[in-house]
Copies of this chain bind each other. A is one copy, B any other.
Amino acid sequence: MASLTLEKINKRFGATRVIEEVSLDIKDGEFVVFVGPSGCGKSTLLRLIAGLESITHGDLMIDGQRVNDLTPPERGIGMVFQSYALYPHMSVYDNIAFGLKLAKSEKQTVDERVRRTAKILQLDGLLDRLPKALSGGQRQRVAIGRAMAREPKILLFDEPLSNLDAALRVQTRNEIAHLHERLGSTMIYVTHDQVEAMTLADRIVVLNDGYVEQTGSPRELYEQPASRFVAGFIGSPKMNFLDVDARAEGDAGCRIQVPGIGERVLPRRLAGDSDDAPLTLGVRPEHLTPTTAAGEAGFRIVNVEYLGSEAYLYLETSNSDTLVCRSEAPSPFARGERVTLDFAPQRAHLFDHDGRALPPADVEQMSTQATIS
């Protein structure tokens, strides 16, 4: 039940700038996910919000009130630490119960809540153990339990699921989603897991080197990345990038020449002066369709990666880059074979040499775009 506003927030450690001019509006009850490469400042940003780190410049507001100077509890925040931060001398039970600031008389309530939390996180049998007798995943669950049990109005999660196995991860993820629905609390979540980010987030914030690169719904980021960086960062395996030459083609967009694939007209508007500019084409692996090639045409398959539900083909380009494309599993293609590729122009992206995405060509194209998405 709290909205959060970050206004030009900066953080420096000594001379190192870690967070730069981050502005962000988080609505009451929103679920926001921070993603970004390792070391880009996600944890630091969370810690700034929590009040564990002082803000070098800028304002942080909760419900419209400036809270730069408030202590963490005054901000009404709960947090799951990336390093767990468990109390080493307390049992799992006490770790979870400790933060529950309930009146003494409500001992039973505490007990109930702890047990419920433990059940959700499958910690029932471990309540008497000390952290050092737990496995990595179990510790992580205790850390989550501790923050969850308190049900604060803003919950911060720093990679809470990174040590859990797939099944438990899905389950805990659903539990967090559920919690979010039930409590309606504002949640900020740092993760490296694409699936988590895509499924949990109302909005994803992509950080790069302390800057906000783009914010938007998962779908926006996936389908309309504002930059090459975001395009490459969201989606796994990541988008294929190819250097292409482009020519404006009137309102229809621009015509590009893709080596090994051929000419295509993309519904993207080229900046007026940049005719024939070197551009980068971006196509996601799942939007590339492979067909068995005749003779020496197309690309050679250098590796087939089997993932059970699908397979990825690794293709060698003429300038020995690698292209990745998805195929069903088991794949009908084998290593060493050659394939030709095709893609739907609407699904492709174009980036200028600064890495900025080219905008859609015109209204008509725009609506096409819209129907696709």
Contacts and interface: CB of A to CB of B under 8 A. Distances in A.
Interface of A: 13, 35-39, 42-43, 82-83, 133-138, 141, 158-159, 162-170, 192-195, 198-199, 218-219, 222-223, 232-238, 284-286, 305-310, 326, 329-330, 372-373
A238 B199 CA distance: 16
Contacts of A135: 38-39, 42-43
A165 B36 contact: yes
Given A82-B136, A218-B308, 14 more contacts: A38-B135, A38-B138, A82-B163, A162-B163, A166-B193, A166-B236, A170-B238, A195-B307, A198-B305, A198-B308, A222-B308, A284-B309, A286-B309, A330-B373
Contact of A38 (B35, B82, B164, B284): B164
Contacts of A305: 198-199
Contacts of A167: 37, 232-233, 236, 238
Contact of A37 (B13, B165, B170): B165
Given A83-B136, A194-B166, A233-B166, A199 B307 contact: yes
Nearest to A235: B308
A232 B171 CA distance: 13
A306 B194 CA distance: 11
Contacts of A310: 286
A306 B133 CA distance: 38
Contacts of A83: 136
Contacts of A307: 194-195, 198-199
Nearest to A371: B330
Nearest to A171: B238
A235 B133 CA distance: 29
A329 B133 CA distance: 43
Contact of A13 (B38, B43, B133, B168): B133
6 contacts: A37-B165, A38-B165, A166-B233, A167-B232, A195-B236, A219-B306
Contacts of A136: 38, 43, 82-83, 158-159
A359 to B, nearest CB: 20
B306 A326 contact: no
Contacts of A306: 198-199, 218-219, 222
A274 to B, nearest CB: 28
Contacts of A163: 38, 82, 159, 162, 192
Contact of A330 (B168, B199, B219): B219
Nearest to A218: B306
B308 A194 contact: yes
A169 B192 contact: yes
B38 A170 contact: no
Nearest to A125: B39
Contacts of A194: 166, 307-308
